[in-house]
Amino acid sequence: MPSPAAAPMPALALSGVTVRFGTFTANDRIDFSVGSGEVHALLGENGAGKTTLMRVVAGLLKPQDGTIAINGTPVTLNSPLDAAALGIGMVHQHFMLVPPLSVAQNAALGLPRVGRFFPDMRRVRADLAEISERYGLEVDPDAIVGDLTVAGQQRVEIVKALYRGARIFVLDEPTAVLAPKEVEGLFRVLRMLAEAGTAMVFISHKLNEVMEISNRVSVLRQGKLVATRATAETSGAELARLMIGSDFELPHVSDTVPQDAPVRLEARSLAYRDERGVPRLDGLDLSVRRGEIVGIAGVDGNGQQELAEVLTGLRQPQSGTLMIDGTDVTGSDPARRIGLGLAHVPEDRQRTGIVDLSIAENAVLETIDRPPASRRGILSHSAIRAFAETLIADYDVRCTGPRQPITTLSGGNQQKVILGRALSRDPGVIVAVQPTRGLDVGATAFVHRQLLEQRRRGAAIVLVSTELDEVLALSDRVLVIYAGRIVGELPRNQIALDRLSALMTGQAAA
């Protein structure tokens, strides 16, 4: 294998690629290349145009201008099939899998060589098993995709692309949904792929990941390529500066909550079993005071999502009680809790947070029954639009206007709409789950400031996050969740990292 620097022809080269949506330019004359065996990281704020550029590479978008060359040969990509045939595989920010089908069926879907009418599934299964063996990717060809964890589905996307013969890999924020351990696993796979000569584009908002895995870094800002650097010759600080054009600092909690502040959210002995009878919450206690942020730290899948959904009323616990500002809300529906001032920033924003309508219509989901959005049941479209315009301005949502369908926003900007919607109600209790997932550094700092502002205002905040840095910076107290129980509580100024990780992995008793 030639070393990446010496490769004469880049595996993939874009030059002058321009994509416009109406009058908005999402990619402005971008030159970008990646050699075989190279990992080229792509950085940029939310809405900078990273996903758009990669959709061009994957044949999902036709640029208005510019050329694409594979191994030096100019190509035209009319569809994802063209791209796949040229060895381009994409692991999307939002996975493109069919949940009710098995892994093997997903991999074979629409692939002519498997046989159009009577696909040879046995061979597909054998091939997949061989691939997952070779790259140490744990994937069961017969598993139903919908049953897999997020990390599992991501492995399926990778195996699927490999099975289809991908030599150029595009990974759009693959680590956003992974726990730190899983990130390590992914990086092991990427290194192996690089050794085998695969060219890779890696998108992430996390600078440390970029510094660790990439050979080169390119930075996009508002649709323009502002810099390309060899990773070894740059630093996280420089990249951050290039990305947002200025220095910034992540905020953190500094003052303390008075111990006599009233308790706004109180949960006692919550127990929840899922549809299959598996206990997810096992006698969980939680209380949050006025003006307090309680961080819930833990490895993903230890009951965080269930806890959030029980608190917000999306699920009903089998036992336990729940009070908001002294009112018993056990068993009540989300409507009642929202009425009492609860706000939810859901983890799974695609499924729980947004609906396929315009930004404006999404901005008023929770407030549609009140003035100014509606009066006596009649909508005021002008008031809705005005509200959305304020939200867009306040939360710096990068879009073409309130009428833009929310599904066409970049992931981070969708999150800003959800946050703005929840926080603009001045909620008394906030349940925020992974509120900065998929957000760029600047937006993350913004969200942190917003949460601190809500705390100052007197809200009680439950912050569920797998990002330890985030939990540590913002929380007054950190509770560690493991197997559906709170196994430890650490006040802000007494957090020892080794103790924390021992608790998180269930290796220490409280």
Partner 1 sequence: MSAEPVSTPAAPARPTGRFGDAGRRVAASIIAVLLALACGAILIALWGVNPVSAYGALLNGAFGNLNSIAETLLRAIPLTCTGLAVAFAFRAGTFNIGAEGQLMFGGAAAAAVGLALPHLPPLLLIPSMMGSAMIAGALWSLLPGVLKLRFGANELITTIMLNYVAIHFISFLLYGPMQESAGYLAQTDRLDRATTLPQLIERTRLHIGFLIVLGVVALSHFALWHTSWGYKLRVVGLNARVALNSGMAVTALTVSAFLVSGALAGLAGYMEVVGVQRRMIEGLSPGFGYTGIIVALLGGTSPLGVLAAAILFAALQVGATTMETAEGVPSTLATIIQGLVVLFVIGRGTIDLALRRRGSA
Residues of this chain that bind partner 1 (CB under 8 A): 19-22, 26, 55, 59-64, 77-80, 96, 312, 314, 333-335, 337-339, 344, 346, 351-358, 360-361, 365-366, 368-369, 373-374, 377-379, 381, 403, 405, 407
- Do residues 298 and 286 lie in contact, with contact meaning Cβ atoms separated by under 8 Å? no
- Angstrom CA distances, 47 to 23, 54, 272, 318, stand at 15, 13, 38, 42
Query: Which x/- pattern, by CB under 6 A, does the window 427-446 give for ligand ATP?
Result: -------------x------
Q: Using CB atoms within 10 Å of the CB of residue 134, give its burial: 0 to 12 exposed, 13 to 18 middle, 19+ buried.
A: exposed
Pairing state between β 485-491 and 429-433: unpaired
Smallest separation (angstroms) from ligand ATP to the CB of 102: 29
H-helix or E-strand spanning residue 224: strand 224-230
Which of partner 1, ligand ATP, Mg ion, none does residue 47 bind to, with CB < 5 to 8 Å depending on kind? Answer: ligand ATP
Smallest separation (angstroms) from ligand ATP to the CB of 302: 27
Smallest separation (angstroms) from partner 1 to the CB of 402: 9
**In the β-sheet with 216-221, what is the strand arrangement from edge to edge?**
88-91, 168-172, 199-203, 39-44, 216-221, 224-230
Which of ligand ATP, partner 1, Mg ion, none does residue 46 bind to, with CB < 5 to 8 Å depending on kind? Answer: ligand ATP
Which of Mg ion, partner 1, ligand ATP, none does residue 64 bind to, with CB < 5 to 8 Å depending on kind? Answer: partner 1
Look at the alpha carbons of 18, 21, 26, 32 in this order and tell me if their dihedral is positive or negative: negative
Smallest separation (angstroms) from ligand ATP to the CB of 388: 14
Q: Which is nearer to partner 1, 228 or 374 (CB)?
A: 374
Strand partners of residue 460: 292, 429
Query: Which x/- pattern, by CB under 6 A, does the window 18-47 give for ligand ATP?
Result: ---x--x-x-----------------x-xx
Q: Which of residues 282-311 bind ligand ATP (CB under 6 A)?
A: none
Q: d(Cα 157, Cα 143) in Å, to the nearest integer?
A: 13
Residue whose C-alpha is closest to residue 307's, from 277, 269, 281:
281
Query: Which x/- pattern, by CB under 6 A, does the window 369-398 give for ligand ATP?
Result: -----------------------------x
Q: d(Cα 189, Cα 178) in Å, to the nearest integer?
A: 14
Q: Which is nearer to ligand ATP, 145 or 417 (CB)?
A: 417
Smallest separation (angstroms) from partner 1 to the CB of 312: 7
Strand partners of residue 34: 12
Return the half-sphere exposure (C-beta side, CA atoms, 13 A cut-off) of residue 486. Answer: 20
Q: Which is nearer to ligand ATP, 444 or 466 (CB)?
A: 444
Which stretch, 186-194, 407-415, 419-427, 428-436, contacts ligand ATP (CB under 6 A)?
407-415
Residue whose C-alpha is closest to residue 26's, from 46, 49, 44:
49
Which of partner 1, Mg ion, ligand ATP, none does residue 409 bind to, with CB < 5 to 8 Å depending on kind? Answer: ligand ATP
412 binds ligand ATP (CB under 6 A): yes
Q: Which of residues 410-439 bind Mg ion (CB under 5 A)?
A: 410
Phi-psi region of 233 (alpha: psi -120 to 50; beta: other; left: phi over 0): alpha
Q: Which is nearer to Mg ion, 51 or 454 (CB)?
A: 51
Smallest separation (angstroms) from partner 1 to the CB of 52: 9
Strand partners of residue 491: 477
Which of Mg ion, ligand ATP, partner 1, none does residue 154 bind to, with CB < 5 to 8 Å depending on kind? Answer: none
Q: How many residues bind ligand ATP (CB under 6 A)?
A: 21
Buried/exposed 83-92: b ≥16 CB within 10 Å, e otherwise: bbebbbbbbb
Query: Which x/- pattern, by CB under 6 A, does the window 44-83 give for ligand ATP?
Result: x-xxxxxxx-------------------------------
- Do residues 41 and 204 lie in contact, with contact meaning Cβ atoms separated by under 8 Å? yes
51 binds Mg ion (CB under 5 A): yes
**In the β-sheet with 327-328, what is the strand arrangement from edge to edge?**
279-289, 263-273, 319-324, 327-328
Beta-carbon count within 10 A of 403 CB: 12
Query: Which x/- pattern, by CB under 5 A, does the window 85-114 give for Mg ion?
Result: --------x---------------------
Q: Which is nearer to partner 1, 29 or 206 (CB)?
A: 29
Residue whose C-alpha is closest to residue 331's, from 270, 422, 262:
270
Q: Which is nearer to partner 1, 19 or 474 (CB)?
A: 19
- Angstrom CA distances, 383 to 156, 338, 367, stand at 45, 21, 12
Strand partners of residue 20: 25
Which of partner 1, ligand ATP, Mg ion, none does residue 399 bind to, with CB < 5 to 8 Å depending on kind? Answer: ligand ATP
Contact residues toward ligand ATP (CB under 6 A) are 21, 24, 26, 44, 46-52, 93, 398-399, 408-413, 440
Contact residues toward Mg ion (CB under 5 A) are 51, 93, 410
